[in-house]
Amino acid sequence: MTSPAARAITTFMTEPRLKSGLWVRALIRRCEVEAVPAMVVRKGDEAAGNVYVTVNQLDGTARVYNRAFRGDGTKVWMCVTGAEPVGTRDADAYIARQQEFDPDIWVVEIEDKQGRHFLDEDVDLGDS
């Protein structure tokens, strides 16, 4: 019997992946359809760059999302800045730290007063 962590790694390594650049363009298009501004603020590796999505709520607050895998291998978007929105400076500082660690990341910023992220997979706000 394999552990949940081993199953997550196996799932991650064997599942076909959509190229990061194509996925980012699809997210931006999804936002455009809803008349919500979205832009690439940092272009990463076209094939496999890690993607961060920042949702600027246009009130001085934002949330930052990044893809993660739960222990059972389920894909989820994690709100890496916590359950509550943070100041935009704090969100920008988080992204800056990630860029230092991994120069190939993508950063997409969505500007939406309602705080919609337009992500199509489960989202974990980090409050559990």
Encode 72-83: b = buried (16+ Cβ within 10 Å), e = exposed.
Answer: ebeeebbbbbee
Please give the Cα distance from 19 to 47 (Å, whole number): 5
Residue 26 has pLDDT above 90, yes or no: yes
- Is pTM beyond 0.85? Reply is no
In which element (H, E) is residue 79 found? strand 75-79
* Fold observed for domain 4-124: hypothetical protein tt1805 (3.40.1530)
What average pLDDT score do residues 103-116 get?
Answer: 96
Please give the Cα distance from 113 to 36 (Å, whole number): 9
pLDDT (tens digit, 9 = 90+) per residue, 50-84? Answer: 999 999 999 999 999 999 888 888 888 999 999 89
Please give the Cα distance from 125 to 65 (Å, whole number): 9
Domain residue ranges of the chain, discontinuous segments joined by +: 4-124
